Every structure is written in C-alpha cells, then in structure tokens.
Structure 1
Amino acid sequence: MSNVSTQKAIVLHGVKEPLVLTAMPIPSIGPDEALVRIKAAALNRRDWWIQQGQYAGLQFPIVLGSDGAGIVEQVGSDSHRHWEGRDVVINPSLRWGDKEAYQGTSFHILGLPQDGTFAEFVRVPIGNLHEKPIHLSFEEAAALPLGGLTAYRALFSRAALKSGEKVLVVGAGGGVATFALQWAVHAGATVYVTSSTSAKIGQAMALGAAGGVLYTDDDWSQQLNEQAGGFDVIVDSALGEGAAHHPDMANPGGRIVFFGGTAGNLPALNARKIFWKQLSLLGTTMGSPTDFAAMLAFVNRHGAVPVIDATYPIEEAEAALRQMDKSTQFGKIILTVSTT
C-alpha cells in the first residue's frame, strides 16, 4: 500500500443533506479484518431511506454503501495473507449470529453504523470476503450483495422454491425484485410480475418472466388470475393494501414472503383463507453467511448476470441517488471508483 493516508469518500452529513465528496482517512484494520480497494459499489433503496431520515439507528457523518467489489489491499494478520491481491465481492451482512433461522442482536448492515463502500477503501471482516465470480465484471459483482442475498434467502431459505412452481414477484424493476425474478427463472420456476409501467413488464419478460400486469390498474389481481391462475410463491417488498389480495392469489400450500413495506403496512387479511388453504406467511431480512455462499454458488452455477440500469463515477453519487427518487430504474445503479 502507498504512503498516502487519505482517500476520497462520499459522506452524508445529515437528513436530506446531499452526498458530498470528501477527503478522509483510510480506515485502519484489526487482526481479523481486511482493507478492500473498491472498484465498484452499488446503490440500494436503503441508502435512499437513510438520506431521507427514515431508517433506524441514524448517525452522521456516515459513508453509505452496502454493496461493493474490489481488490484486497491489506489484511490484519499473516494468517490471512493469502487474501491480498484477490478480486472479491463483499457480504454486507455483518455479525449475523449463530442461528440460520434469524439474525442475532449484534447484526448490522455495512454502510450504517459502519462506514460503507462509497469510498476508495472499506474495512470489512475477513469472513465477509468472497471471491468475485470470474464471469462478472467488478460493476456486475458489486450489484449482487444486498439485493441478491435478500432475494435468495426469500425464495430458497424461506419459501423453499422448487423447480416447476409458479412465482409472483411484486414490483419488478427494484433491485431485490429483479434478482428474485432472475433467481426464480434460473431455478426453473414460471414467473409473473407486477410493475408500475408497461416498459418494466417488457424488461421483466425479456429476463424470462411469463407475463405481468400493472399494479396501478384497479383489477390487477383479476388480470393476474386470468393470465396465470394461482401462485405457489409470492414475493413482496411493498405490502400496503395490495397485499390483501395475496391469500386469494396463492395456491393451496402457498408461501407469501415479505421483506419490506414501501407501500405501507400489512392490511387486514382473511385468516380463514390462510388456514384453509394451508398458507405460510413468511418474513425475511437479508441473509446468513450460509445464504450468501449459496447465492454465489447459484450465480456461478447458472452464469447469472445482474441487471445494471445505470453507471456513474463515484464523484456523481448524489446524482445517482437522485435517480432513485421516482423509482424509474430497472435493476441496479452502480458507482465506479478510480483510485488515485
């Protein structure tokens, strides 16, 4: 590593403040940590919510960014020296704990409260390093971690998706929803989507979706029923009033998985439909180290490539985050980092 002790980083100083390019010290690392030179990072809706002040545990100033891929610059002890110089992707799920079923009390996500990947360098535990899939660029690999992990756990660890089943992905176009579509298609499922625009439905079908409807239509659930019939798995990050239709759309034995609530809370549900149809309502958040390793193995096995909507230099991080204001993106927004 050079003698330069400062780096360029993107810093958020307060609620609804712009992201600012700042010179700050390069992080120091402990014995079981690594310093990764970031080549590319990706935005998540989490970063947008933090800037809006609508996220738990806010603290400022903070370097945002959960997703990143790069090269291991330095490790904290000789026993980890084999990592130096390797191309890696970072698992942003920190201190998951020892239970596969749920995260522990020390669990947190890279990018708050610990400085994240919107910088030239990031400090991460050695256990959160994984070899970058060789068929992916740094930009594509950076798109994977948070969204890919969340979608993988929702579909496979929680909903136990099997080949040949029918899946509904609510809100195609968002990062996690787009990964859920891709993962389900690669797993041999028949996938339908809802979205806000016909263009996004077309993009989803280009990725393998069998069909889709506009959730802005009053009769969207009826349209889906006519297109697809019932669903074995429903993946939803929105909740809101639309979720009231899920028990009707689910097949007997169906699994409904929630990992967000961007449209509101869970509405009143008819419990009789839930118990008579033997439905499972499942919550999920991020994923365990086992989930992350399994997700990367899945990506390598299927040659899966994340969908990138737009790429910006890190210096334009604020403009990149503003692209998320109207949720027009389909897939991930990437920041590229050129180190000096």
Structure 2
Amino acid sequence: MMRAAVVDTCGRPPSVAECPEPAAGPSEVRVRVTAASITPLDLLCASGTSYFGVPATPYVPGVQGVGELADGTPVWFATSAGMLPGNGSMAEWAVAADGDVVPLPEGVDHRLIAALGLSAVAALMALTWRGDLRSGEQVLVLGGGGVVGQASIQLARLHGAGRVIAGCRSDAAQRRAERAGAAAVVRIDRPALDERLAEHGPFDLVVDPVFGAPAVAALHALRPGGRLVNLGSSAGENAPFDSATLRGKHLSVLGYTNTELTKEQRADALAVIAEHVRAGRLTLDYETVAFADIGDAWSRQAAGTADRRLVVAL
C-alpha cells in the first residue's frame, strides 16, 4: 500500500488515503515520486468543468511530477490524470508511459524541477521556437511575477536577449520579477500603460501569458517587425487591437500551447531546463508543502491565496 492524494468529488480538494501501489503495464514504467506541483491544469481537471469532461472519481490528480525509476535514475514525467481515466503524480508511486518520462541530470533539485515543469517548457519554447528570439533583442515579459513569467525573464537572458523588461500587477509579483533578473518592471495594473511601456521600448518580442488590455499596450510598444507570443489570458479573453497597428508596423501575433509540441520537443526542452537548473542558472520562487497538507495547499491554490507555485514533497 502507499499514500496517495485522492479526489473523491469534483470541485473539492483531494485528501490523503491509503491505496494499492500501481503496477506498470506494457510500455509503462513505475516512478517513485519525490515531488509534484499543483498546477492550474490539475485544478481545472478536478473541478469537473474542463473541456476534457468530468473525470471519473475517485482518482489521483497530478499531470506532472518528478521522481526516480527502480534503478535510481531521476526523471520528470507526465500523466493524463483528470483528462483521461487513470491516476497521476500525487502519490508515493505513479506509472507513466515510456514516452512521457524524461531522464534528469544526477543531483538536480527535484522540487525546483517540479515547480518549473511545463511552465518553463512553455516559456522556453514561446521564446525560442515560436518567438524566434535573436541575440541582442529587447524582450517584454508580461505577467513577470508568475511561473511562466519568472522562467521567461531568466531564459530570455540565458538565450541571448539584450534587455528584458517585465510587466507585473502587484508588489509581490514585481519583487519576484526583479529577483528573476528583469532590468526594469512596469506595473500593468495602473493607467497610462502605453506611455510607461514606451519609456522602456521599443521591444522586439513580447511573451504574453495575460492578454487583455496589457497585450494591446504591448503591441503598441513593439518595433516594426516585432512579435507577440500569447500563451494565456489571465487578464482577459479579448484584446481589442486595431488593424492599423498590425499592418503599419508589420507585426506578428502568435499563439502558443504546449499541446502542439511533440514528445521529442518537450523532452529536449526539459533537458535544457534541467541543465540550467543543475548549473544554478534557473530558479523560481515556490513553496514546498508537506504531503499531509495537500488538501489545504490545494484549497489555497484554487482560491488564489497562494501567491506562488506550490510543490508537494513526498
């Protein structure tokens, strides 16, 4: 038997229970889990309101995690918990498909990798693959205090950006963006955003996990030929930008989602992230919570009262 976080009823936090250890099926491996983050996708799936439909309960949540194989190899792994029938990473043991397991460097910080995870993959690929970041370019990262934002600030600098400016909506987010290495922070929750962004621009590339009014102001701050890569909508589902702005400066507005990556691309991106972590070049402001406290941590994350990524230590 093992300890596992179990969602019995959609819309309610999981509770810790004793469950049978899972057995690996064909083309699967067993992982002894060491850390798992509570992500927005976990919350969405367990709410029963996601586009994947209502998950069958009870189930163990956790769409990603970090742990060790039977031979001690450290790995990151993904699951389809909450999206398809089956259990996820928030247990002492989990199973994952061979193609969803990525080896990690020896000695890498498991909790930090769990905290970064697919959010850092999104940041890296939005910058380099979708955004085509070039050496010396000036980058604006909206939502700079979030997980994607903090990772984007650091990864932009590590991959050749000349100067990185962050846009933030709170004092706490501003402090996180500054610790991540932003050269300057612009508050996007205040009036006259166009003017304040213009003081730091023009920008070549915008990483945008917020959309809404901040995305409109960011488009105005792009130089001719600039690109905006959108990967979220925390500030609004709509952004009323005008045709003249796009045409007049030959701008590109690009969408990004991790679901469009091949498993090989995802593994390659995670390898890059893990090496940055191992070398001490990439970090994140996150909070570790004990496995016994997962219900309270889940509730805080769902209510928005946790101001950072929560990582469950097993």
TM-score of the pair, normalised by structure 2: 0.88
Mind listing any 5+ residue stretches in structure 2 that lack a counterpart?
A: none
Q: What residue is the counterpart of 2:170 in the other structure?
A: 197
Indicate whether 1:59 and 2:31 are aligned.
no
Q: What residue is the counterpart of 2:12 in the other structure?
A: 17
| Counterpart secondary structure, 2:236 | coil
Q: What residue is the counterpart of 1:156 in the other structure?
A: 128
Q: How far has the Cα of 1:53 moved from its partner? A: 4.0
Overall identity of the aligned pairs, in %: 28
Mind listing any 5+ residue stretches in structure 1 that lack a counterpart?
A: 1-5, 74-83, 95-108
| Counterpart secondary structure, 2:283 | coil
Q: What residue is the counterpart of 1:218 in the other structure?
A: 191
Give the counterpart of 1:112 among 72, 78, 83.
Answer: 83
Deviation string, structure 1 residues 216-236 (Cα, Å, up to 9, x no partner): 10123321211x112111111
CA distance in 2, matches of 1:21, 1:328: 20
Q: What residue is the counterpart of 1:86 in the other structure?
A: 73
Q: What residue is the counterpart of 2:266 in the other structure?
A: 292
Deviation string, structure 1 residues 23-54 (Cα, Å, up to 9, x no partner): 22322222211010101111212223334444
Give the counterpart of 1:306 among 274, 277, 283.
Answer: 283
Q: What residue is the counterpart of 1:315 in the other structure?
A: 292
Letter of the 2:310 partner, please give it: I
Q: Report if aligned partners of 1:70, 1:88 keep a CA contact under 8 Å in 2.
A: yes
Q: Report if aligned partners of 2:120, 2:151 keep a CA contact under 8 Å in 1.
A: yes
Q: CA RMSD in A?
A: 2.1
Report matched runs for 1:23-172 at 5 Å: 23-57=18-52, 58-61=54-57, 62-73=59-70, 84-90=71-77, 92=78, 109=80, 112-113=83-84, 114-172=86-144
Q: How far has the Cα of 1:152 moved from its partner? A: 1.6
Q: Name segments (4+ residues, structure 1) moved above 6 Å.
A: none
Q: Report if aligned partners of 2:139, 2:204 keep a CA contact under 8 Å in 1.
A: yes
| Counterpart secondary structure, 1:65 | coil
| Counterpart secondary structure, 1:144 | helix
Give the counterpart of 1:208 among 172, 181, 200.
Answer: 181
CA distance in 2, matches of 1:88, 1:301: 13
Aligned residues: 304
Q: Report if aligned partners of 1:255, 1:281 keep a CA contact under 8 Å in 2.
A: yes
